[in-house]
Amino acid sequence: MPVLDTAALLHWPAERMQGGIVAHSQLEELRKLSPQRAMLVESIEMEWMSMGTGDAESAAAKTGDLPRLSPVDLEILAIALATGQTLFTDDYSLQNVCRSVNHPFEAVSNKRSKQQWAWELRCIGCRATKKADSQR
């Protein structure tokens, strides 16, 4: 059973989503983005989960992606890591974290990222760089 990011819930046909693993927090996000789609998703047989995000936050902090991930993203990532199931997402930050911990992922409708990257901060004045702070 794949873990589905909100992009899959918005773009995939109902038959493809059936049986997927999703977070309860995604439903509120989906209601804001597309109330009609939220009603459809609620009618599909899926596995709804809630999970703490500690491990996901730690993994995202190591790559510098933590500030770029929403609470919903972190919960989906935590579910994928805990279940060991493939994460379907178009979010390149989620893909970057998955790649860093050797967790399987696939793209939903965009191209999948091609390589691991590391974030850095660059001063606009002197052009000095440093590794991105892993905190939000």
Instruction: Please write the tens of the pLDDT for every residue from 16-42.
Output: 999 999 999 999 999 999 999 999 999
Query: What domains appear along the chain, each with residue ranges and CATH number?
Result: 3-109+117-131 (3.40.50.1010)
What is the Cα–Cα distance from 14 to 72, expressed in whole angstroms?
Answer: 21
**CA neighbours closer than 13 Å in the CB half-sphere of residue 106:** 9
Long-range CB contacts (within 8 A, 24+) of 123-132:
131/64, 132/64, 132/67
Vertex 90 angle, CA 36 and 114, to 5°: 165
Predicted model pTM? 0.84
- Does 132 have pLDDT greater than 80? no
Instruction: Please write the tens of the pLDDT for every residue from 66-115.
Output: 999 999 999 999 999 999 999 999 999 999 999 999 999 999 987 776 76
Instruction: Determine whether 97 is exposed, middle or buried from the number of CB atoms within 10 Å of its CB (0-12, 13-18, 19+).
Output: buried
